[in-house]
Amino acid sequence: MPAVDALGRPLGVLRLSLTARCNLACPYCLPDGQEPPGLLSLEQRLQLITAAVALGARSLRLTGGEPLLYPQLEALIRACQALREQGLHEIALTSNGLLLSAERAQRLRSAGLDRLTLSLDGSNPASVATMAGLADEAAGARALQQVLEAIEHARCAGFDPATGALKLNAVIQRGRNEDQLLPLAALGRQRGLELRLIEYMDVGNRNGWSGADVVPAAAMVQTIHERWPLEAMGRAQHGTANRWRYSDGHGAVAVVASVSEPFCGDCNRLRITADGIAYTCLFAAPGSGVDLRPWLQPGITPAQLHQAMADLWIARTDRYSETRERTGATKQPHAEMAYLGG
């Protein structure tokens, strides 16, 4: 039986941040240049994943920061394979793709990674440079080329977009890259990739978020629908994305509307940072997480760690996104995205 929180939501997904560092500095995210002190070891990460699976997590998403910077990534994925017998269904990774060489993609696949989501917020050098915080168009052109190559490396390694094993994420920000909606949709259609358009979220404090910078999902869908008609597929239970199929048969596009159409009601995600702090909401305040390191020390039994994680999940009442307007909570401080694990 999965652990169920105070609002009746079962634990289903563990999002594990492997590093708070990144090789980009997207202005909407702005990661730390350095790791927090007290990074977990591979063994400690495995203990956390094991406990989460025992509490009902069926999906593990490895993220960051940029998870390809974590040198033991493949070793961790390999070590997780034994947990499939305990109920782990899938292991997924979110990456900006810059470090995804053909060889790395093969190594990840052989280690047992099931799904890969690559992030790309523009289809031309100027927009990539703007969204990724790069110095100039030349750097934007290099990054764009690297991500486009990464998509093909992933495909060749066996991450098949037709089965949902390879997807593309794009954050859309008003006044910055909303002109990229149709070009990104075209790119997804040409390459057979499901594009997931993410509303710009009020995670972290460094990005200076304002509601005026959000392009609501409904407006994104309308823009695409006017060019390529769409049919609603809905949002899977516990899912983050509302999916739409192209009426002409060219695949699907999705929107993650966590600002305009929050989905806290069935949120099943537990986040653990690279230094072992558990957060039960993406919009949590800094310092509000539960430090799990005391339960990762020698002499502590797996049952004690299991109990500590069960306790924090059972007490969970977060529904920030559903209450942000009413409570004016956007003015409260938020932990940073790259630290929490996006």
Shortest distance in whole angstroms from residue 64 CB to ligand SAM: 5
**Residue at 114: amino acid letter:** D
In the bound state with ligand SF4, the residue whose beta carbon lies nearer, of 26 and 80, is 26
Q: How far is the CB of 338 from ligand SF4 (least distance, A)?
A: 4
Min dist CB 82 to ligand SF4, Å, is 29
Q: Considering CB distances under 5 to 8 angstroms, the limit depending on partner class, which of ligand SF4, ligand SAM, none binds residue 63?
A: ligand SAM
Residue holding tokens 């961790």? 76
Query: Of 40-48, 182-190, 196-204, 307-315, which segment contacts ligand SAM by CB under 6 A?
Result: 196-204
Sign of CA dihedral 151, 155, 158, 160: positive
Binding letters toward ligand SF4, positions 13-52, x by CB under 6 A: ---------x-xxx--x-x---------------------
Contact between 109 and 133 under an 8 Å Cβ cutoff? The reply is no
**Which 3 state secondary structure label does DSSP give 256?**
strand
Give the nearer residue to ligand SAM in terms of CB position, either 29 or 55.
Answer: 29
Per-residue x/- mask for ligand SAM, residues 33 to 72, rule CB under 6 A?
Answer: ------------------------------xx-x------
As given in the structure block, the two tokens for residue 253 are 């596009």
Query: Of these partners, ligand SAM, ligand SF4, none, which one is at the site of residue 12 (CB under 5 to 8 Å by kind)?
Result: none
- Answer yes or no whether residue 321 interacts with ligand SAM by CB under 6 A: no
Q: Site for ligand SAM (CB under 6 A): which residue of 59, 94, 123, 130?
A: 94
Q: Hey, what long-range contacts does 72-80 have (CB within 8 A, 24 or more apart)? A: 72/42, 73/18, 73/108, 73/111, 74/107, 74/108, 74/111, 75/42, 75/111, 76/18, 76/42, 76/45, 76/46, 77/108, 77/111, 77/112, 77/113, 78/111, 78/112, 79/42, 79/46, 80/46, 80/49, 80/112
d(CA 87, CA 56): 8
- Alpha-carbon dihedral angle through residues 284, 290, 296, 299, given to the nearest 10 degrees: -170
**Total residues found in the chain within this entry:** 342
Tell me the C-alpha distance between 128 and 275, whole Å. Answer: 30
Site string for ligand SF4, 60-99 (x = CB under 6 A): ----xxx-----------------------------x---
169 binds ligand SAM (CB under 6 A): yes
φ/ψ of 19, rounded to 5, equals -160, 150
* Residue 127 lies near ligand SF4 (rule: CB under 6 A): no
Cβ partners under 8 Å of residue 201, min gap 6? 209, 258, 259, 282, 283, 337
| Options 89-97, 176-184, 187-195, 229-237: segment touching ligand SAM (CB under 6 A) | 89-97
Which residues make up the interface to ligand SAM (CB under 6 A)?
A: 22, 28-29, 63-64, 66, 94-96, 119, 169, 171, 198, 200-201, 203, 207, 337-338, 342
Footprint of ligand SF4 on this chain (CB under 6 A)? 22, 24-26, 29, 31, 64-66, 96, 119, 338
